[in-house]
Amino acid sequence: MLVTIKNDYNEMSAEAARFIAERIRKKPTLVLGLATGNSPVGLYKELVRLHQNENLDFSRVRTFNLDEYIGLPAEHSQSYHHFMHENLFKHLNMNPRHIHIPDGMAKNIEEHCEWYERQIEKAGGIDVQVLGIGANAHLAFNEPGSSLGSRTRIKTLTRQTIKDNSRFFKTPEEVPQYAITMGIGTIMEARELLLLASGKKKAKAVKSAVQGPITAMCPASILQMHRKAYVLIDRPAAALLSDTQTFG
Protein backbone atom coordinates (compact mmCIF):
# COMPACT_ATOMS: atom_id res chain seq x y z
CA MET A 1 0.00 0.00 0.00
CA LEU A 2 1.35 3.39 -1.02
CA VAL A 3 -0.07 6.39 0.84
CA THR A 4 0.26 9.84 -0.74
CA ILE A 5 -0.78 12.94 1.17
CA LYS A 6 -1.69 16.15 -0.66
CA ASN A 7 -2.37 19.55 0.88
CA ASP A 8 -6.04 19.77 -0.04
CA TYR A 9 -8.89 18.27 -2.04
CA ASN A 10 -7.96 20.03 -5.27
CA GLU A 11 -4.39 18.77 -5.19
CA MET A 12 -5.63 15.28 -4.37
CA SER A 13 -8.08 15.34 -7.28
CA ALA A 14 -5.47 16.60 -9.74
CA GLU A 15 -3.05 13.87 -8.70
CA ALA A 16 -5.77 11.22 -9.05
CA ALA A 17 -6.54 12.47 -12.57
CA ARG A 18 -2.86 12.31 -13.52
CA PHE A 19 -2.77 8.73 -12.23
CA ILE A 20 -5.76 7.71 -14.38
CA ALA A 21 -4.66 9.69 -17.44
CA GLU A 22 -1.21 8.10 -17.41
CA ARG A 23 -2.77 4.65 -17.52
CA ILE A 24 -5.24 5.54 -20.27
CA ARG A 25 -2.41 6.86 -22.43
CA LYS A 26 -0.45 3.65 -21.89
CA LYS A 27 -3.51 1.46 -22.47
CA PRO A 28 -6.29 3.15 -24.50
CA THR A 29 -8.59 0.15 -23.83
CA LEU A 30 -8.26 0.57 -20.06
CA VAL A 31 -11.01 -1.05 -17.97
CA LEU A 32 -11.79 1.53 -15.31
CA GLY A 33 -13.82 0.93 -12.17
CA LEU A 34 -15.65 4.03 -10.95
CA ALA A 35 -17.23 5.27 -7.74
CA THR A 36 -19.86 7.84 -6.83
CA GLY A 37 -20.02 10.24 -3.88
CA ASN A 38 -18.22 13.46 -3.06
CA SER A 39 -14.68 12.09 -3.10
CA PRO A 40 -14.30 11.46 -6.86
CA VAL A 41 -16.16 14.55 -8.11
CA GLY A 42 -12.95 16.59 -8.31
CA LEU A 43 -11.23 13.72 -10.11
CA TYR A 44 -14.03 13.59 -12.68
CA LYS A 45 -13.90 17.34 -13.26
CA GLU A 46 -10.16 17.12 -13.89
CA LEU A 47 -10.57 14.16 -16.26
CA VAL A 48 -13.11 16.20 -18.22
CA ARG A 49 -10.62 19.07 -18.38
CA LEU A 50 -7.87 16.73 -19.60
CA HIS A 51 -10.20 15.40 -22.29
CA GLN A 52 -11.31 18.84 -23.45
CA ASN A 53 -7.97 20.66 -23.21
CA GLU A 54 -5.36 17.92 -23.64
CA ASN A 55 -7.20 15.44 -25.88
CA LEU A 56 -7.30 12.61 -23.37
CA ASP A 57 -9.16 9.97 -25.38
CA PHE A 58 -11.92 7.91 -23.73
CA SER A 59 -13.32 6.36 -26.92
CA ARG A 60 -11.99 2.89 -26.13
CA VAL A 61 -12.09 3.03 -22.33
CA ARG A 62 -14.57 0.68 -20.66
CA THR A 63 -16.06 1.45 -17.25
CA PHE A 64 -17.76 -0.49 -14.46
CA ASN A 65 -19.40 1.29 -11.56
CA LEU A 66 -19.34 -0.08 -8.04
CA ASP A 67 -23.01 0.16 -7.13
CA GLU A 68 -26.55 1.41 -7.66
CA TYR A 69 -29.72 1.75 -5.62
CA ILE A 70 -32.41 -0.87 -6.14
CA GLY A 71 -35.73 0.62 -7.24
CA LEU A 72 -34.45 3.87 -8.74
CA PRO A 73 -34.75 4.25 -12.52
CA ALA A 74 -31.66 5.50 -14.34
CA GLU A 75 -33.26 8.91 -14.95
CA HIS A 76 -33.96 9.52 -11.23
CA SER A 77 -31.97 12.50 -9.98
CA GLN A 78 -30.46 10.44 -7.13
CA SER A 79 -29.55 7.37 -9.16
CA TYR A 80 -25.91 6.64 -9.72
CA HIS A 81 -26.62 6.41 -13.46
CA HIS A 82 -27.67 10.07 -13.31
CA PHE A 83 -24.69 11.03 -11.12
CA MET A 84 -22.18 9.47 -13.50
CA HIS A 85 -23.80 10.92 -16.61
CA GLU A 86 -23.91 14.44 -15.20
CA ASN A 87 -20.46 14.45 -13.60
CA LEU A 88 -18.48 12.53 -16.20
CA PHE A 89 -19.91 10.57 -19.11
CA LYS A 90 -21.80 13.31 -20.96
CA HIS A 91 -18.61 15.39 -21.13
CA LEU A 92 -16.40 12.67 -22.66
CA ASN A 93 -16.13 10.88 -25.99
CA MET A 94 -17.14 7.55 -24.49
CA ASN A 95 -18.93 4.79 -26.37
CA PRO A 96 -22.21 4.24 -24.44
CA ARG A 97 -21.80 0.48 -24.98
CA HIS A 98 -18.60 0.63 -22.93
CA ILE A 99 -20.37 2.04 -19.84
CA HIS A 100 -21.56 -0.45 -17.22
CA ILE A 101 -23.57 0.49 -14.13
CA PRO A 102 -25.64 -2.02 -12.12
CA ASP A 103 -29.33 -1.91 -13.05
CA GLY A 104 -31.41 -1.24 -9.97
CA MET A 105 -34.58 -1.87 -11.97
CA ALA A 106 -33.58 -5.34 -13.23
CA LYS A 107 -36.42 -7.87 -13.08
CA ASN A 108 -34.20 -10.47 -11.42
CA ILE A 109 -31.57 -8.71 -9.32
CA GLU A 110 -29.66 -11.86 -8.36
CA GLU A 111 -29.31 -12.91 -12.00
CA HIS A 112 -28.28 -9.38 -12.90
CA CYS A 113 -25.50 -9.47 -10.26
CA GLU A 114 -24.17 -12.70 -11.77
CA TRP A 115 -24.37 -11.12 -15.24
CA TYR A 116 -22.44 -8.09 -14.02
CA GLU A 117 -19.63 -10.29 -12.73
CA ARG A 118 -19.49 -12.05 -16.12
CA GLN A 119 -19.24 -8.72 -17.93
CA ILE A 120 -16.23 -7.75 -15.84
CA GLU A 121 -14.64 -11.10 -16.62
CA LYS A 122 -15.40 -10.76 -20.36
CA ALA A 123 -13.73 -7.33 -20.33
CA GLY A 124 -10.56 -8.94 -19.03
CA GLY A 125 -10.98 -7.69 -15.47
CA ILE A 126 -10.74 -4.19 -14.07
CA ASP A 127 -7.39 -2.47 -14.56
CA VAL A 128 -7.89 0.41 -12.11
CA GLN A 129 -10.68 0.64 -9.53
CA VAL A 130 -11.41 4.07 -8.04
CA LEU A 131 -12.74 3.89 -4.48
CA GLY A 132 -14.07 6.19 -1.81
CA ILE A 133 -14.30 5.32 1.86
CA GLY A 134 -17.18 5.83 4.25
CA ALA A 135 -16.85 7.29 7.72
CA ASN A 136 -17.17 3.72 9.03
CA ALA A 137 -14.58 2.52 6.47
CA HIS A 138 -17.11 0.89 4.14
CA LEU A 139 -16.25 0.32 0.48
CA ALA A 140 -19.11 0.82 -1.99
CA PHE A 141 -22.10 -0.57 -0.03
CA ASN A 142 -19.95 -3.15 1.76
CA GLU A 143 -20.69 -2.08 5.33
CA PRO A 144 -18.72 -3.28 8.38
CA GLY A 145 -19.22 -7.02 8.76
CA SER A 146 -19.37 -7.69 5.02
CA SER A 147 -17.51 -10.77 3.85
CA LEU A 148 -14.02 -9.96 2.64
CA GLY A 149 -14.55 -12.47 -0.17
CA SER A 150 -17.98 -11.20 -1.26
CA ARG A 151 -19.07 -10.79 -4.88
CA THR A 152 -21.54 -8.44 -6.60
CA ARG A 153 -24.82 -8.85 -4.72
CA ILE A 154 -27.85 -7.26 -3.06
CA LYS A 155 -27.12 -5.40 0.17
CA THR A 156 -29.59 -4.11 2.73
CA LEU A 157 -28.60 -0.59 3.68
CA THR A 158 -27.95 0.11 7.33
CA ARG A 159 -30.19 2.47 9.26
CA GLN A 160 -27.32 4.94 9.46
CA THR A 161 -26.78 4.86 5.69
CA ILE A 162 -30.50 5.34 5.07
CA LYS A 163 -30.52 8.25 7.53
CA ASP A 164 -27.46 9.81 5.90
CA ASN A 165 -29.04 9.48 2.46
CA SER A 166 -32.39 10.93 3.49
CA ARG A 167 -31.12 14.48 2.94
CA PHE A 168 -31.08 13.79 -0.81
CA PHE A 169 -34.76 12.81 -0.99
CA LYS A 170 -38.00 14.71 -0.46
CA THR A 171 -39.34 12.28 2.15
CA PRO A 172 -37.73 9.50 4.25
CA GLU A 173 -40.04 6.99 2.54
CA GLU A 174 -38.34 7.65 -0.80
CA VAL A 175 -34.90 6.58 0.42
CA PRO A 176 -33.92 3.18 -1.05
CA GLN A 177 -33.37 0.43 1.47
CA TYR A 178 -31.45 -1.89 -0.83
CA ALA A 179 -28.59 -1.57 -3.30
CA ILE A 180 -26.53 -3.61 -5.74
CA THR A 181 -22.84 -3.46 -4.91
CA MET A 182 -19.64 -5.02 -6.11
CA GLY A 183 -18.33 -7.27 -3.37
CA ILE A 184 -15.01 -6.85 -1.63
CA GLY A 185 -13.70 -9.95 -3.39
CA THR A 186 -14.65 -8.42 -6.74
CA ILE A 187 -12.97 -5.13 -5.87
CA MET A 188 -9.78 -6.86 -4.78
CA GLU A 189 -9.41 -8.55 -8.16
CA ALA A 190 -8.75 -5.20 -9.86
CA ARG A 191 -5.12 -4.88 -10.91
CA GLU A 192 -4.74 -1.51 -9.19
CA LEU A 193 -6.82 0.21 -6.53
CA LEU A 194 -6.99 3.98 -6.04
CA LEU A 195 -8.66 5.04 -2.78
CA LEU A 196 -9.54 8.71 -2.36
CA ALA A 197 -10.37 10.36 0.97
CA SER A 198 -10.73 14.01 1.90
CA GLY A 199 -11.57 15.92 5.06
CA LYS A 200 -11.27 15.38 8.78
CA LYS A 201 -14.49 13.35 8.90
CA LYS A 202 -12.63 10.59 7.07
CA ALA A 203 -9.52 10.67 9.27
CA LYS A 204 -10.61 7.88 11.63
CA ALA A 205 -11.61 5.60 8.77
CA VAL A 206 -8.34 6.27 6.95
CA LYS A 207 -6.28 5.44 10.02
CA SER A 208 -8.21 2.19 10.56
CA ALA A 209 -7.85 1.21 6.91
CA VAL A 210 -4.15 2.05 6.60
CA GLN A 211 -2.72 1.28 10.04
CA GLY A 212 -5.32 -0.84 11.78
CA PRO A 213 -5.83 -4.61 11.80
CA ILE A 214 -7.34 -6.30 8.76
CA THR A 215 -10.89 -7.12 9.73
CA ALA A 216 -14.35 -7.39 8.18
CA MET A 217 -15.47 -4.72 10.66
CA CYS A 218 -13.23 -2.31 8.74
CA PRO A 219 -13.84 -3.29 5.11
CA ALA A 220 -11.26 -0.87 3.69
CA SER A 221 -8.51 -2.51 5.75
CA ILE A 222 -8.44 -5.35 3.19
CA LEU A 223 -6.60 -2.95 0.86
CA GLN A 224 -3.50 -3.68 2.94
CA MET A 225 -3.44 -7.09 1.24
CA HIS A 226 -3.49 -5.76 -2.33
CA ARG A 227 -0.24 -5.70 -4.30
CA LYS A 228 -0.99 -2.33 -5.91
CA ALA A 229 -3.22 -0.29 -3.63
CA TYR A 230 -2.75 3.47 -3.70
CA VAL A 231 -4.27 5.66 -1.00
CA LEU A 232 -4.48 9.30 -2.04
CA ILE A 233 -5.67 11.68 0.68
CA ASP A 234 -5.49 15.29 1.79
CA ARG A 235 -3.93 16.51 5.03
CA PRO A 236 -7.18 16.67 7.04
CA ALA A 237 -7.93 13.03 6.17
CA ALA A 238 -4.37 12.11 7.21
CA ALA A 239 -4.63 13.87 10.57
CA LEU A 240 -4.71 10.71 12.70
CA LEU A 241 -2.03 8.75 10.88
CA SER A 242 1.19 8.13 12.77
CA ASP A 243 4.61 8.60 11.18
CA THR A 244 3.22 10.53 8.21
CA GLN A 245 6.73 11.54 7.24
CA THR A 246 7.13 8.02 5.84
CA PHE A 247 4.37 8.68 3.29
CA GLY A 248 4.75 10.38 -0.09
**What CATH number is given to the structural domain containing 240?**
3.40.50.1360
Is the pLDDT confidence value at 245 over 60? no
Which of the following is catalytic: 138, 142, 165, 226?
138
136 flagged as catalytic: yes
Domain for residue 141, yes or no?
A: no
Q: For 181-203, how does the pLDDT look when each residue is reduced to its tens digit (9 = 90+)? A: 999 999 999 999 999 999 999 99
Is the pLDDT confidence value at 223 over 70? yes
Domain for residue 140, yes or no?
A: no
Which of the following is catalytic: 67, 68, 127, 234?
67
Domain holding 236, by residue range, is 2-135+146-246
57 flagged as catalytic: no
Q: 159-177 burial, b for 16+ CB within 10 Å, e for fewer?
A: eebeeebeeeeeeeeebbe
User: What pLDDT is stored for residue 246 in this prediction?
Assistant: 55
Domain for residue 228, yes or no?
A: yes
Is the pLDDT confidence value at 247 over 80? no
Average pLDDT on 2-28 reads 98
Which of the following is catalytic: 143, 165, 226, 234?
143
Model-level pTM? Answer: 0.95
67 flagged as catalytic: yes
User: What pLDDT is stored for residue 244 in this prediction?
Assistant: 64
Domain for residue 22, yes or no?
A: yes
Is the pLDDT confidence value at 172 over 80? no
Q: What share of the chain has pLDDT > 70, as a percent?
A: 98
3-state SS, residue 95: coil
Is the pLDDT confidence value at 160 over 80? no
138 flagged as catalytic: yes
> What is the tally of structural domains in the chain?
1
Is the pLDDT confidence value at 118 over 80? yes
Q: How confident is the model at residue 129 (pLDDT cuts 50, 70, 90)?
A: very high
Burial (0-12, 13-18, 19+ Cβ within 10 Å), 216 = middle
Is the pLDDT confidence value at 46 over 60? yes
Which of the following is catalytic: 15, 82, 91, 136?
136
Name the nearest CA neighbour of 62 among 11, 128, 141.
128
Domain for residue 194, yes or no?
A: yes
Burial (0-12, 13-18, 19+ Cβ within 10 Å), 121 = exposed
